Structure 1
Amino acid sequence: MTRQKGRREENREARRATIVRLARDAFLQQGYAATSMSTIAGRLGGSKGTLWAYFPSKEDLFAAVLDDLTVNFRDNLEDALRPGRDCRTTLSDFAERFLHKIVDPHILGMHRLIVGEGGRFPEIGRIFYERGPKQVVERLSNYLHERMEAGDLRADDPQHAARNLIQLTQVAQSLRLWGVMDTPTPEMLQAHAADAVGVFMRAYAA
């Protein structure tokens, strides 16, 4: 039986979501270094004590922002890699969903932030890796391992194979980050995903 939330718990969750949204906007607009807990408390309209009651440090708040940006994608990823379909169809679905996510303006902004400030604040790179790329590689490599065991793909290091597919797919994101590609249409993303999976399947065909 699902437990019903009380009004106080609902209010606390709503307050937390507001803090995360305000922090996301502050980080993306001002950068990590220029965004302080005082800045976010000012946007929230409360004291730093109120903010610290939810997040004891800026690192914890940054991690919450990344979780908020990626939680729906992780669920989406599970659906893309669901069993019952042929390998190429599954990987094409994964690549297309992955592309839609990584060219999202918020994700592009976060990549720019990590690259621009990660040298001075290496903790943000580690937080980003744990919340995003690491989980994507692990889930995809688990699927590829299953397909290798089933004989659909040739035997190889599944994590290495997962990284290869991800790197093939990320070319479109790089072009967006460099400013040499306009906002891609769904048709463009679908075609790029198909190309990436085509190269991958030629390399790893059983």
Structure 2
Amino acid sequence: MDTAGTMDTRNTEPVSRGDKRRAAFIAAAREVFLEQGYEAASMSDIVQRAGGSLSTLYSQFGDKQGLFLAMLDERIRQITASMGVELSAHAPVADGLRRIGQQFTSKLLEPESLEMYRLILGLARKFPEIPREFVRRGSDRVRQALADYLIDRVDAGEIHLDDPHRAASLFLEMSRAGLVNRALMDDDVRPGPEEIKASVDMVVDMFLHGAVRYQPKPDEASSQAD
């Protein structure tokens, strides 16, 4: 564990030839899908870039949709990695949420993530099963990873939550909404690390302490009492 309270997650086990081939296919698929779109993307083009054979590609992923979803799975694994680190480290909630929020938002703001999200939205009408799978494999998995960390902090007595899963959804939406939505609409919007940090710091403070302390006017308080 390092001084920031995170753990070294590097895998020291040797990578098999099959794993290397799978990683090469996914990397090539990412390039082809983003360049050509889902419908125009060719499995042959992916093999040409990655090496190997079509038979190996199909045996590993089944079809083009299977490959596309495997590519999404890999991206989600990268996004949820920091949540697993903070959970394993039992990191204090304020520090852990700041690191999780910054990593989550930074990943979503990467050009590849923005392009992938736009691509998935464009598939909703003709290939609705792909966005549905994206929600199940992506949004639900990210929310669960954060909820697991929040539950750990509840068990430690650091926070109290009636519904950790709903709280996780709220935190993730607040973290991404302001910066990521703007970047999706405008390619010139590219928030830097300091802007991301400032935004996430505000979200963490709001999440842990509340946005405002509401003080009703005397006439409002009396009417509520009635």
Q: Report the Cα distance in structure 2 between the residues aligned to 1:46 and 1:97, rounded to whole angstroms.
A: 34
Contact 2:171–2:207 at 8 Å: present in 1 too?
yes
- Shift of the 194–150 alpha-carbon distance from structure 1 to 2, 3 Å rule, reads same
For 2:4, the equivalent position in structure 1 comes to none
Identity of aligned residues (%): 34
For 1:194, the equivalent position in structure 2 comes to 201
SS of 2:25 mapped into structure 1: helix
* Amino acid in structure 1 at the alignment position of 2:201: A
1:156 and 2:197 aligned: no
Contact 1:22–1:40 at 8 Å: present in 2 too?
yes
Contact 2:25–2:50 at 8 Å: present in 1 too?
yes
- Shift of the 184–81 alpha-carbon distance from structure 1 to 2, 3 Å rule, reads farther
Of 162-171 and 179-188, deviating more is 179-188
Q: Report the Cα distance in structure 2 between the residues aligned to 1:144 and 1:166, rounded to whole angstroms.
A: 12
* Amino acid in structure 2 at the alignment position of 1:19: F
Q: Report the Cα distance in structure 2 between the residues aligned to 1:203 and 1:156, rounded to whole angstroms.
A: 15
For 1:184, the equivalent position in structure 2 comes to 191
Q: Describe how 1:31-180 pairs up with structure 2 within 5 A.
A: 31-44=37-50, 48-171=54-177, 172-179=179-186
Q: Report the Cα distance in structure 2 between the residues aligned to 1:54 and 1:72, rounded to whole angstroms.
A: 21
- Shift of the 147–44 alpha-carbon distance from structure 1 to 2, 3 Å rule, reads closer
- Shift of the 154–203 alpha-carbon distance from structure 1 to 2, 3 Å rule, reads farther
Q: How many angstroms does 1:185 deviate by?
A: 1.2
Q: Describe how 1:19-30 pairs up with structure 2 within 5 A.
A: 19-30=25-36
Aligned length: 199
Q: How many angstroms does 1:151 deviate by?
A: 4.2
Q: Report the Cα distance in structure 2 between the residues aligned to 1:98 and 1:146, rounded to whole angstroms.
A: 19
Q: Report the Cα distance in structure 1 between the residues aligned to 2:48 and 2:91, rounded to whole angstroms.
A: 50
Of 33-42 and 188-197, deviating more is 33-42
1:15 and 2:21 aligned: yes
Pick the structure with greater CA Rg: 2
* Amino acid in structure 1 at the alignment position of 2:202: D
Contact 1:101–1:107 at 8 Å: present in 2 too?
yes
Structure 1 length as normaliser, TM-score?
0.83
* Post-superposition CA distance 1:138-193 (Å, at most 9, x none): 12112223333444333321111110000100121111101176221111111111
- Shift of the 46–84 alpha-carbon distance from structure 1 to 2, 3 Å rule, reads closer
Contact 1:175–1:181 at 8 Å: present in 2 too?
no
Q: Report the Cα distance in structure 1 between the residues aligned to 2:165 and 2:107, rounded to whole angstroms.
A: 21
Of 138-147 and 40-49, deviating more is 40-49
Structure 2 length as normaliser, TM-score?
0.76
Of 50-59 and 168-177, deviating more is 50-59
Q: Report the Cα distance in structure 2 between the residues aligned to 1:4 and 1:194, rounded to whole angstroms.
A: 38
Gaps of 5+ in 1: none
Gaps of 5+ in 2: 1-11, 212-226
Q: Report the Cα distance in structure 2 between the residues aligned to 1:114 and 1:4, rounded to whole angstroms.
A: 34
